[in-house]
Amino acid sequence: MIDTPTRTFIKPLDRLIAIREASTMLGLSIKQLRDLDNSGKLRAVKTEGKHRRYLLSDIHARMGIPATGLIEQLPIAVYCRVSSHDQKQKGDLDRQKLRLLEHCAKNNPTSRIACILDEVGSGMNDARPKLHQLLKLVFERKINKVIIEHKDRLSRFNYKIFKVFFESHGVTIECLEERLPKSFEDELVDDMLTLMASFSSKIYGKRGAANRKKVTEATCVNTLAAQEHLNKMKEKIS
Protein backbone atom coordinates (compact mmCIF):
# COMPACT_ATOMS: atom_id res chain seq x y z
CA MET A 1 0.00 0.00 0.00
CA ILE A 2 1.12 3.55 -0.75
CA ASP A 3 0.71 6.06 2.04
CA THR A 4 -0.75 9.27 0.56
CA PRO A 5 -1.87 11.43 3.50
CA THR A 6 -2.17 14.62 1.42
CA ARG A 7 -3.71 13.03 -1.70
CA THR A 8 -6.83 10.96 -2.16
CA PHE A 9 -6.20 9.81 -5.72
CA ILE A 10 -3.75 9.85 -8.62
CA LYS A 11 -4.87 11.19 -11.96
CA PRO A 12 -5.42 8.50 -14.61
CA LEU A 13 -2.76 9.91 -16.89
CA ASP A 14 -0.37 10.52 -13.99
CA ARG A 15 2.16 8.14 -12.52
CA LEU A 16 4.68 7.89 -9.72
CA ILE A 17 8.39 8.11 -10.53
CA ALA A 18 11.45 7.28 -8.43
CA ILE A 19 13.52 10.02 -6.83
CA ARG A 20 16.44 9.31 -9.17
CA GLU A 21 14.27 9.88 -12.28
CA ALA A 22 12.89 13.06 -10.73
CA SER A 23 16.46 14.18 -10.01
CA THR A 24 17.47 13.67 -13.65
CA MET A 25 14.42 15.48 -15.02
CA LEU A 26 14.83 18.52 -12.76
CA GLY A 27 18.62 18.63 -12.83
CA LEU A 28 18.73 18.55 -9.02
CA SER A 29 20.59 16.26 -6.65
CA ILE A 30 18.75 13.65 -4.61
CA LYS A 31 19.64 15.58 -1.43
CA GLN A 32 18.08 18.75 -2.86
CA LEU A 33 14.88 16.84 -3.65
CA ARG A 34 14.74 15.49 -0.09
CA ASP A 35 15.21 19.03 1.27
CA LEU A 36 12.37 20.28 -0.96
CA ASP A 37 10.15 17.50 0.35
CA ASN A 38 11.02 18.25 3.98
CA SER A 39 10.33 21.96 3.44
CA GLY A 40 7.00 21.22 1.74
CA LYS A 41 7.98 22.86 -1.55
CA LEU A 42 7.86 19.60 -3.55
CA ARG A 43 6.00 16.87 -1.69
CA ALA A 44 6.90 13.23 -2.22
CA VAL A 45 4.72 10.17 -1.73
CA LYS A 46 6.35 7.69 0.64
CA THR A 47 5.89 3.99 0.03
CA GLU A 48 5.48 1.38 2.74
CA GLY A 49 9.25 0.91 2.61
CA LYS A 50 9.73 4.68 3.21
CA HIS A 51 10.99 5.29 -0.34
CA ARG A 52 10.14 8.62 -1.92
CA ARG A 53 8.07 8.68 -5.10
CA TYR A 54 6.99 11.76 -7.03
CA LEU A 55 3.91 12.43 -9.13
CA LEU A 56 4.96 13.14 -12.69
CA SER A 57 2.44 16.00 -12.81
CA ASP A 58 4.22 17.65 -9.85
CA ILE A 59 7.57 17.37 -11.62
CA HIS A 60 6.07 18.81 -14.80
CA ALA A 61 4.56 21.66 -12.78
CA ARG A 62 7.97 22.36 -11.27
CA MET A 63 9.42 22.47 -14.79
CA GLY A 64 6.68 24.83 -15.98
CA ILE A 65 4.99 22.29 -18.24
CA PRO A 66 1.15 22.44 -18.27
CA ALA A 67 -0.52 19.41 -16.71
CA THR A 68 -3.53 19.37 -19.06
CA GLY A 69 -3.61 17.09 -22.06
CA LEU A 70 -0.72 14.86 -20.99
CA ILE A 71 -0.55 11.63 -22.96
CA GLU A 72 1.77 8.70 -22.61
CA GLN A 73 4.29 8.51 -25.42
CA LEU A 74 8.04 8.33 -25.89
CA PRO A 75 9.52 11.28 -24.00
CA ILE A 76 11.87 14.00 -25.17
CA ALA A 77 15.29 15.06 -23.90
CA VAL A 78 16.63 18.58 -23.39
CA TYR A 79 20.35 19.16 -23.97
CA CYS A 80 22.15 22.36 -22.89
CA ARG A 81 25.84 23.25 -23.10
CA VAL A 82 28.20 26.16 -22.58
CA SER A 83 31.92 26.14 -23.34
CA SER A 84 33.38 27.58 -20.14
CA HIS A 85 32.79 27.66 -16.40
CA ASP A 86 32.86 31.46 -16.63
CA GLN A 87 29.75 31.31 -18.82
CA LYS A 88 28.08 29.00 -16.31
CA GLN A 89 28.89 31.35 -13.42
CA LYS A 90 27.37 34.23 -15.39
CA GLY A 91 24.13 32.25 -15.64
CA ASP A 92 24.31 31.47 -19.37
CA LEU A 93 23.65 27.76 -18.79
CA ASP A 94 20.63 28.38 -16.56
CA ARG A 95 19.14 30.89 -19.00
CA GLN A 96 19.66 28.45 -21.88
CA LYS A 97 17.90 25.72 -19.90
CA LEU A 98 15.01 28.05 -19.08
CA ARG A 99 14.55 29.02 -22.74
CA LEU A 100 14.42 25.34 -23.74
CA LEU A 101 11.89 24.47 -21.03
CA GLU A 102 9.70 27.42 -22.03
CA HIS A 103 9.89 26.20 -25.62
CA CYS A 104 8.82 22.71 -24.52
CA ALA A 105 5.90 24.07 -22.54
CA LYS A 106 4.73 26.11 -25.53
CA ASN A 107 5.43 23.77 -28.44
CA ASN A 108 5.43 20.28 -26.85
CA PRO A 109 2.80 20.53 -24.08
CA THR A 110 1.74 16.88 -24.36
CA SER A 111 5.27 15.46 -24.35
CA ARG A 112 6.98 14.13 -21.25
CA ILE A 113 10.55 15.32 -20.65
CA ALA A 114 12.72 12.30 -19.84
CA CYS A 115 15.71 14.32 -18.67
CA ILE A 116 17.49 17.65 -18.80
CA LEU A 117 21.16 17.21 -19.69
CA ASP A 118 23.37 20.23 -19.09
CA GLU A 119 27.15 20.44 -19.02
CA VAL A 120 30.23 22.61 -19.50
CA GLY A 121 32.56 21.62 -22.32
CA SER A 122 33.86 22.49 -25.74
CA GLY A 123 31.66 21.71 -28.71
CA MET A 124 34.69 20.04 -30.27
CA ASN A 125 35.10 17.65 -27.34
CA ASP A 126 33.48 14.31 -28.19
CA ALA A 127 34.11 12.91 -24.68
CA ARG A 128 31.41 14.98 -22.96
CA PRO A 129 29.65 12.76 -20.34
CA LYS A 130 26.16 14.21 -20.89
CA LEU A 131 26.55 13.90 -24.67
CA HIS A 132 27.36 10.20 -24.20
CA GLN A 133 24.29 9.88 -21.97
CA LEU A 134 22.17 11.45 -24.69
CA LEU A 135 23.59 9.11 -27.34
CA LYS A 136 22.76 6.15 -25.10
CA LEU A 137 19.14 7.30 -24.77
CA VAL A 138 18.92 7.58 -28.56
CA PHE A 139 20.57 4.20 -29.14
CA GLU A 140 18.22 2.49 -26.67
CA ARG A 141 15.22 4.23 -28.30
CA LYS A 142 14.08 5.75 -25.00
CA ILE A 143 13.28 9.17 -26.49
CA ASN A 144 11.78 10.43 -29.72
CA LYS A 145 13.01 14.02 -29.77
CA VAL A 146 15.98 16.11 -28.61
CA ILE A 147 15.53 19.82 -27.93
CA ILE A 148 18.62 22.05 -28.30
CA GLU A 149 19.08 25.79 -28.64
CA HIS A 150 20.98 25.48 -31.92
CA LYS A 151 23.02 22.78 -33.63
CA ASP A 152 26.38 24.04 -32.30
CA ARG A 153 25.22 23.18 -28.78
CA LEU A 154 25.30 19.53 -29.84
CA SER A 155 28.53 19.67 -31.84
CA ARG A 156 30.71 22.27 -33.52
CA PHE A 157 31.41 19.95 -36.44
CA ASN A 158 29.82 16.91 -38.09
CA TYR A 159 26.30 17.89 -36.96
CA LYS A 160 24.83 16.08 -39.96
CA ILE A 161 26.33 12.80 -38.75
CA PHE A 162 24.52 13.22 -35.43
CA LYS A 163 21.33 14.08 -37.29
CA VAL A 164 21.52 10.95 -39.48
CA PHE A 165 22.27 8.74 -36.44
CA PHE A 166 19.40 10.19 -34.42
CA GLU A 167 16.90 9.89 -37.28
CA SER A 168 17.94 6.28 -37.91
CA HIS A 169 16.72 5.57 -34.36
CA GLY A 170 13.45 7.49 -34.78
CA VAL A 171 14.66 10.60 -32.96
CA THR A 172 14.27 14.12 -34.32
CA ILE A 173 16.40 17.12 -33.37
CA GLU A 174 14.52 20.35 -32.70
CA CYS A 175 16.53 23.59 -32.72
CA LEU A 176 15.21 26.83 -31.28
CA GLU A 177 17.44 28.98 -33.46
CA GLU A 178 18.93 28.44 -36.90
CA ARG A 179 21.29 31.42 -36.76
CA LEU A 180 23.81 31.89 -33.97
CA PRO A 181 23.81 35.04 -31.82
CA LYS A 182 26.90 37.18 -32.28
CA SER A 183 28.18 36.25 -28.80
CA PHE A 184 28.73 32.68 -29.97
CA GLU A 185 31.33 33.87 -32.48
CA ASP A 186 33.59 34.69 -29.52
CA GLU A 187 32.87 31.25 -28.08
CA LEU A 188 33.87 29.62 -31.37
CA VAL A 189 37.13 31.59 -31.34
CA ASP A 190 37.81 30.29 -27.82
CA ASP A 191 37.18 26.72 -28.99
CA MET A 192 39.56 27.19 -31.94
CA LEU A 193 42.26 28.62 -29.66
CA THR A 194 41.81 25.64 -27.33
CA LEU A 195 42.17 23.28 -30.27
CA MET A 196 45.31 25.06 -31.50
CA ALA A 197 46.81 24.96 -28.00
CA SER A 198 46.11 21.23 -27.81
CA PHE A 199 47.80 20.55 -31.15
CA SER A 200 50.74 22.79 -30.24
CA SER A 201 51.33 20.97 -26.96
CA LYS A 202 51.29 17.63 -28.76
CA ILE A 203 53.74 18.86 -31.42
CA TYR A 204 56.12 20.37 -28.87
CA GLY A 205 55.72 17.26 -26.75
CA LYS A 206 56.86 15.10 -29.66
CA ARG A 207 59.76 17.43 -30.36
CA GLY A 208 60.75 17.34 -26.72
CA ALA A 209 60.63 13.54 -26.73
CA ALA A 210 62.74 13.44 -29.88
CA ASN A 211 65.30 15.81 -28.37
CA ARG A 212 65.44 13.76 -25.17
CA LYS A 213 66.02 10.64 -27.26
CA LYS A 214 68.91 12.33 -29.09
CA VAL A 215 70.48 13.42 -25.81
CA THR A 216 70.14 9.91 -24.40
CA GLU A 217 71.73 8.36 -27.49
CA ALA A 218 74.59 10.88 -27.41
CA THR A 219 75.16 10.17 -23.71
CA CYS A 220 75.31 6.44 -24.39
CA VAL A 221 77.84 6.93 -27.19
CA ASN A 222 79.99 9.17 -25.01
CA THR A 223 79.82 6.70 -22.15
CA LEU A 224 80.91 3.84 -24.38
CA ALA A 225 83.76 5.92 -25.82
CA ALA A 226 84.92 6.88 -22.34
CA GLN A 227 84.78 3.25 -21.19
CA GLU A 228 86.80 2.15 -24.23
CA HIS A 229 89.40 4.86 -23.59
CA LEU A 230 89.65 3.79 -19.95
CA ASN A 231 90.20 0.15 -20.92
CA LYS A 232 93.04 1.16 -23.27
CA MET A 233 94.69 3.17 -20.49
CA LYS A 234 94.48 0.15 -18.19
CA GLU A 235 96.16 -2.06 -20.83
CA LYS A 236 99.06 0.41 -21.22
CA ILE A 237 99.59 0.60 -17.46
CA SER A 238 99.59 -3.14 -17.09
C-alpha–C-alpha distance, residues 136 and 130, integer Å: 10
Catalytic-role residue among 23, 57, 83, 111: 83
Q: How far apart are CA 131 and CA 120, in angstroms?
A: 11
Q: Are 20 and 29 a contacting pair, CB within 8 Å?
A: no
Q: Which of 13, 176, 10, 153 is nearest to 93 (CA)?
A: 153
Coil, helix or strand at residue 35: helix
User: Which residues make beta-bridge pairs with 174?
Assistant: 147
- What is the DSSP secondary-structure string of 36-92? HHHHTSS--EEETT--EEEEHHHHHHHHT---TT------EEEEEEES-HHHHHTTH
Q: Is residue 83 annotated as part of the catalytic site, yes or no?
A: yes
Catalytic residues: 83
